[in-house]
Amino acid sequence: MSYTTTDLIDLKDFYQKQLLKNTIPFWFPRSIDAVHGGYLLMRNQTGELIDDDKSVWFQGRTAWLLSTLYNTIEPKQEWLNGAKSGIDFINKHCFDTDGRMFFHVTRDGSPIRKRRYYFSETFAVIAMSAYAKASGDEKVAEQARHLFGECIKYATTPGLLEPKYTAVRPAKGIGSPMIMINTAQQIRETIGDPRCDEWITKWIAEIENDFVKHDIECVMEQVAPDGSIIDHIDGRTLNPGHAIEGAWFILHEAKYRNNDPHLIELGCKMLDYMWERGWDKEHGGILYFLDVYGNPVQEYWQDMKFWWPHNEVIIATLLAYTMTGNEKYAKWHKMIHDYSYSKFHDKENGEWFGYLHRDGSVAQTAKGNLYKGPFHLPRQEWYCLQLLNETLNQ
Amino acid sequence: MSYTTTDLIDLKDFYQKQLLKNTIPFWFPRSIDAVHGGYLLMRNQTGELIDDDKSVWFQGRTAWLLSTLYNTIEPKQEWLNGAKSGIDFINKHCFDTDGRMFFHVTRDGSPIRKRRYYFSETFAVIAMSAYAKASGDEKVAEQARHLFGECIKYATTPGLLEPKYTAVRPAKGIGSPMIMINTAQQIRETIGDPRCDEWITKWIAEIENDFVKHDIECVMEQVAPDGSIIDHIDGRTLNPGHAIEGAWFILHEAKYRNNDPHLIELGCKMLDYMWERGWDKEHGGILYFLDVYGNPVQEYWQDMKFWWPHNEVIIATLLAYTMTGNEKYAKWHKMIHDYSYSKFHDKENGEWFGYLHRDGSVAQTAKGNLYKGPFHLPRQEWYCLQLLNETLNQ
ipTM of the complex: 0.95
- pLDDT at residue B158, as a whole number: 84
Is the pLDDT score of A159 beyond 90?
no
- pLDDT at residue B394, as a whole number: 85
Residue A53's pLDDT band (boundaries 50, 70, 90)? very high
CA distance B349 to B259: 40
Contact yes or no for A301 and B301 at CB 8 A: yes
Contact yes or no for A112 and B169 at CB 8 A: yes
Helix (H, G, I), strand (E, B) or coil at A362: strand
Q: Is A363 on the interface with B (CB under 8 A)?
A: yes
Interface test with B, best of A298, A307, A355, A365 (most B CBs within 10 A): A298
- Strands B111-113 vs B104-105: parallel, antiparallel or unpaired: antiparallel
b/e burial code for range B155-188 (CB count within 10 A of at least 16 → b):
beeeeeeeeeebeebeebbbbbbbbbbbbbbbbb
- pLDDT at residue A163, as a whole number: 87
Provide the mean pLDDT of chain A: 97
* DSSP H or E segment with residue A383: helix A376-393
- pLDDT at residue A147, as a whole number: 98
State the burial class of residue A37 (Cβ atoms within 10 Å of its Cβ: 0-12, 13-18, 19+): buried
* Chain A residue with Cα closest to B294: A50
Is the pLDDT score of A128 beyond 90?
yes
* Chain B residue with Cα closest to A163: B113
CA distance A294 to A355: 23
Residue A113: beta bridge partners?
Answer: A104
What Rg value do the Cα atoms of chain B yield, rounded? 20
Q: How far is B322 from chain A (nearest CA, A)?
A: 34
Contact yes or no for A300 and B304 at CB 8 A: yes
Q: Between helices A196-206 and A175-190, what is the axis angle to 10°? A: 160
Contact yes or no for B112 and A299 at CB 8 A: no
Q: Is A50 on the interface with B (CB under 8 A)?
A: yes
Residue A123: beta bridge partners?
Answer: none
pLDDT digits (tens, 9 = 90+) for A241-262: 999 999 999 999 999 999 999 9
Asked if A300 contacts B304 with a C-beta cutoff of 8 angstroms, the reply is: yes
Residue type, B235: G
For residue B4, count other CB atoms closer than 10 A to its CB.
Answer: 9
Residue/partner pairs of B47-52 with CB below 8 Å, 24 or more apart: B47/B349, B47/B350, B47/B367, B50/A233, B50/A295, B50/A296, B50/B366, B51/A232, B51/A233, B51/B369, B52/A232, B52/B106, B52/B107
**CB-based contacts of B366, cutoff 8 Å, min separation 6:** A295, A296, A298, B42, B43, B44, B45, B50, B354, B372
- pLDDT at residue A158, as a whole number: 84
Contact residues, chain A, for B357 at CB < 8 Å: 357-358
pLDDT digits (tens, 9 = 90+) for B228-256: 999 999 999 999 999 999 999 999 999 99
Mean pLDDT confidence for B280-307 = 97
At residue B10, what are phi and psi to the nearest 5 degrees? -60, -45
pLDDT digits (tens, 9 = 90+) for A324-376: 999 999 999 999 999 999 999 999 999 999 999 999 999 999 999 999 999 99
Residue A355: beta bridge partners?
Answer: A306, A364
Q: Is B100 on the interface with A (CB under 8 A)?
A: no
Mean pLDDT confidence for B317-335 = 98
Task: Look at the pTM and tell me if it is higher than 0.80.
Answer: yes
Interface test with B, best of A108, A113, A166, A289 (most B CBs within 10 A): A166
Contact residues, chain A, for B297 at CB < 8 Å: 364
Q: How far is B298 from chain A (nearest CA, A)?
A: 6
Name the percent of chain A lying above pLDDT 90: 97
Residue A123's pLDDT band (boundaries 50, 70, 90)? very high
Contact yes or no for B364 and A45 at CB 8 A: no
Q: Is A299 on the interface with B (CB under 8 A)?
A: yes
Of B335, B293, B273, B282, the residue nearest B310 (C-alpha): B335
Is the pLDDT score of B342 beyond 90?
yes
Contact yes or no for B296 and A110 at CB 8 A: no
Per 3-state DSSP, chain A is made up of helix, strand and coil in percentages (nearest 5) of 55, 10, 35
Helices (H), strands (E): how many in chain A? 14, 14
Is the pLDDT score of A131 beyond 90?
yes
Is the pLDDT score of A1 beyond 90?
no
Q: Is A116 on the interface with B (CB under 8 A)?
A: no
Mean pLDDT confidence for A266-288 = 98
Of B297, B348, B355, B50, the residue nearest A358 (C-alpha): B355
* DSSP H or E segment with residue A112: strand A111-113
Of B318, B199, B309, the residue nearest B252 (C-alpha): B318
Peptide bond into A29 cis (omega under 30): yes
> Computed from CA positions of residues B120, B122, B124, B127, in that sequence, does the dihedral angle turn out positive or negative?
negative
Provide the mean pLDDT of chain B: 97
B193 HSE (CA, 13 A, CB side): 30
Q: What angle do CA B242, B245, B250 make, to 5 degrees?
A: 130
pLDDT digits (tens, 9 = 90+) for A177-196: 999 999 999 999 999 999 99
b/e burial code for range B276-290 (CB count within 10 A of at least 16 → b):
ebbbeeebbbbbbbb
Contact yes or no for B301 and A114 at CB 8 A: no
CA distance A121 to A96: 11
Contact yes or no for B232 and A302 at CB 8 A: no
Interface test with B, best of A50, A93, A293 (most B CBs within 10 A): A50
Asked if B244 contacts B270 with a C-beta cutoff of 8 angstroms, the reply is: yes
- pLDDT at residue A175, as a whole number: 97
A389 HSE (CA, 13 A, CB side): 11
Mean pLDDT confidence for A36-44 = 98
CA–centroid distance for A305 within its chain:
16
* Chain B residue with Cα closest to A372: B298
pLDDT digits (tens, 9 = 90+) for B118-136: 999 999 999 999 999 999 9
Contact yes or no for B363 and A298 at CB 8 A: no
Helices (H), strands (E): how many in chain B? 14, 14
Residue type, A48: E
**CB-based contacts of B56, cutoff 8 Å, min separation 6:** B90, B94, B101, B102, B103, B104, B105, B120, B123, B124
CA distance A99 to A117: 13
Interface test with A, best of B48, B57, B166 (most A CBs within 10 A): B166
* Chain A residue with Cα closest to B115: A164
Contact residues, chain B, for A110 at CB < 8 Å: 166, 168-169
Interface test with B, best of A58, A110, A300 (most B CBs within 10 A): A300
- pLDDT at residue A143, as a whole number: 98
b/e burial code for range B195-218 (CB count within 10 A of at least 16 → b):
ebeebbeebbebbbebbbeeeeeb
Is the pLDDT score of A118 beyond 90?
yes
Is the pLDDT score of A94 beyond 90?
yes
At residue A374, what are phi and psi to the nearest 5 degrees? -80, 75
CA distance B79 to B198: 33
Q: Is B167 on the interface with A (CB under 8 A)?
A: no
Q: Is A114 on the interface with B (CB under 8 A)?
A: yes
Q: How far is B72 from chain A (nearest CA, A)?
A: 33
- pLDDT at residue A48, as a whole number: 98
Q: Is B46 on the interface with A (CB under 8 A)?
A: no
For residue B331, count other CB atoms closer than 10 A to its CB.
Answer: 15
CA distance B49 to B26: 12
- pLDDT at residue A366, as a whole number: 97
The count of residues in chain B is: 394
Q: How far is A170 from chain B (nearest CA, A)?
A: 9
